[in-house]
Amino acid sequence: MKKLFLLLNLFAASHFIIHHANSAQPDGGQPAAPKEVPSLQNLCLKMILKKYPASIPPIILEHNYLRYPINIFFTQHVAAIATNMINNNKLPKSLEHSPLEQFKTQFPSLKNQFDGNTLQYSLSIQDLIDVGTDLTKTYNSQDNSLSLSYLSLTSLHGLQNVPHKDLIQQINLNNNLLTHIPSGTFNNLPALIFLYLNKNKIATIPSDAFNNLRALKELYLDNNQITTIPSNAFNNLIELGWLFLNNNKIDTIPSDAFNNLRALKELYLDNNQITTIPSNAFNNLIELGWLFLNNNKIDTIPSDAFNNLRALKELYLDNNQITTIPSNAFNNLIELGWLFLNNNKIDAIPSDAFNNVIQLRWLQLNNNHIKNITADTFNRLAQLNVLYLNDNRLSDKEKEEFKSTLRITLDIFRL
């Protein structure tokens, strides 16, 4: 009976393979999943009926993860089933116009139980392999990608047994139910360039999770439940250019978290719960052009937080709890063109805050607590053409004085 439960679990996942794998675009605009995928419905139905004929009076489907249970048994087999128990699953709350409602209407004589849909299930890549799934059909030879998205996978066990692992350049594991990444999972994938683990339920990252992915350029871990970044977790990703950690629950950044990411161009840490930026946390990111720290709980900026980010072009610090800007905090950002500090609690801006930010074109300080400000703070910014200072606490007199002493010409100015 345990085997039957496994097959039924695989059956529940079949909806996602058939209806999503052909059309789903992985996050980040990468190539679509392959056009041909295996039919787990036909595979599992054949195996179930071979081992458990439809003449068995009760078919028990409870305590699984069924969402579209009617696809499990086709019309020609279901008539002999005396009882169809589907309770304790994950059926939709609204059954109107659903396959389940059609099933009940078509077979009113059956005793159907649909109560208590709460329990989840377990499904790994190895489970797919064990029941004979041909994973070569989820491999796209044109871009060397393997698509395992939208399968409700809970475990990465078996990833080492997928076909063409020496050739795979992209693995799509987004939109599953993964909770952790076992150590060594991604070993022996020497050609891997793109790894999508976003939109899962991953809470922790082992420090050696990505040790051997030396060719990796893009890593998507956004929209998970990650709380901490282990020290040195990304140290061996020497080619990594894009790292997505946004929309998690990260509250601290270890000072050595990104030490060896010298090729990193974009770092997304927005929509987390970060409270502080460690000094020198970004020191070695010499190629970093875009840094997203918006929508966190940052209250202070260390004066040396961004010291070595000489390639940085855009910095997002909106929607935090920053109260002060240290003198010279942005002084070494010689390529910075866009700086966003909206929706904080900044009450004053030092006159030397932007001294060496000579390429700054766009500066937003909306909705802060600024009470006084001098035009000299901005008069050194020869490239500045957009300045937003509205929704602060400046008096009308201070606003007029500011305007009268501002010597630069702005295309957009809001005060």
What tens digit of pLDDT does each residue of 340-387 get? 999 999 998 888 888 889 999 999 999 999 998 888 888 989 999 999
Which residues, 6 or more positions from 228, have their beta carbon under 8 angstroms from its beta carbon? 204, 250, 251, 252
Select the more confidently predicted residue: 118 or 256.
256
Q: Tell me what pLDDT residue 121 has.
A: 52
| pLDDT tens digits along 136-166 | 889 999 999 999 999 888 999 999 999 999 9
pLDDT at 54: 43
**Beta bridge mates, 412:** 386
What's the mean pLDDT in 29-45?
Answer: 40
Q: What is the mean pLDDT of the chain?
A: 78
Tokens in use for 44? 């599992």
Confidence of residue 22 (pLDDT cuts 50, 70, 90): very low
DSSP-derived secondary structure for 346-407: --B--TTTTTT-TT--EEE--SS---B--THHHHT-TT--EEE--SS---HHHHHHHHHH--
Assess whether pLDDT exceeds 60 at residue 59.
no
Q: Is 22 helix (H, G, I), strand (E, B) or coil?
A: coil
Lowest mean pLDDT of 225-229, 291-295, 403-407, name the range.
403-407
Closest CA to 254 of 205, 217, 191: 205
When comparing pLDDT for 412 and 181, which is higher? 181
pLDDT greater at residue 258 or residue 94: 258
User: What are the phi and psi torsion angles at 84 (to 5°)?
Assistant: -120, 100
Q: How many Å separate Cα 43 from the centre of its chain?
A: 32
